[in-house]
Structures are given as structure tokens and as C-alpha cells.
Copies of this chain bind each other. A is one copy, B any other.
């Protein structure tokens, strides 16, 4: 029994996400968001509290929608061999980073600076997520090792390599590499997990 919001929270978050995705946290101002969403700044603050919180919610939306297929590959337990697991993960990432109608690269990697957690609020929140990604990949590789598969390096090194590859793919996408090129890089990186 009150005035209804002119734009739904979901719609607002999706529009905010796309701005953060394209320009990053620092270069996206409240005025930009306000104009893109079509509501005044006061409505944004009434709904989301702060720019930092809006970013957090936008990234959460990103992870649970756009990035869901990629995250699903992260702990895909039916991926076949380790190489096939890595290929599935990196190809899915490459696909996400070159989706038509959306900004290039990864919204989380590129949306916040890549600095240490204390550099900015946005860095702090994405830093924790990246740690989780690394941990998840490493667990999956450890499982391959335990089941007897020979890998080309330790799970620690390979987890860092795969996460680094995802970030490299994101940056290549930002710089204009097309999907075909990214898929080639993804395939090559995945293939490198082959044991001796």
C-alpha cells in the first residue's frame, strides 16, 4: 500500500551491471547510472543504499545469471579428463567474454580494479571471490590427481594457471579479440594440462 517503483530492482540491477561491466566501478558515476536506469539519484539510494552496495548486488546478479554457465564448469564433476574439464571451463569463459549485446570481458575481473583488497571497496569484494575460484579449481584438479590421472604440473600451479588464463582471456576480449581467436587460446591453454 504505497507508491510502486517505476523500475523494478531487477531491471535496475541489470542496467547498473552493464554500466559497471563496460566502464568499471570507478568510471561509472551515480549520475551515469541514474540516467541509464531512468530514475533520480534519490531512488537509487532509496533502493540500494550506496554505490558500493549497488555494485555488490550487480556483481551478484552477474554471477548468478550471465556467469552461471561458466561457474557451473568450475566444479563440473562429469567433465571427463582434466584437459576436457579445463577446455569446458575456458571455452565457456571465452564465450561469456564475447557475448553479443554485452560488454567485453568479465564484469567481475574488469569491473573492479585488480589491486589488493585494501585499494578500493570494489577490489575487496572481488578479491574474496577470486580466492574462491582458485580454491574450487584446485579441488577439482586434486580430484583428478587422486583418481590417478597424470597432470603436467601441481594442482597449485595449474589452478593459478587456469585462473590466470581466464583473466588473460578477459583482457584479450576487452582489447578486441574475437570469439574465434579466444577459443583458440582457450583450447591451447586447456591442452597444456596433458600429463607427460
Contact = CB atoms under 8 A, between A and B. Distances in A.
Interface string A1-44: 00000000000000000000011101100000000000000000
A172 B164 CA distance: 6
A145 interface: no
Contacts of A127: 175
Interface in A141-158: 152-154, 156-158
Nearest to A157: B184
A115 B176 CA distance: 9
Contacts of A27: 26, 113, 119-120
A130 interface: yes
Interface string A173-196: 011110001101101110110000
A48 interface: no
Q: Shortest 3 CB-CB distances between A and B: which pairs?
A: A164-B168, A192-B192, A168-B168
Nearest to A120: B27
B184 A153 contact: yes
A23 B119 contact: yes
Contacts of A169: 164
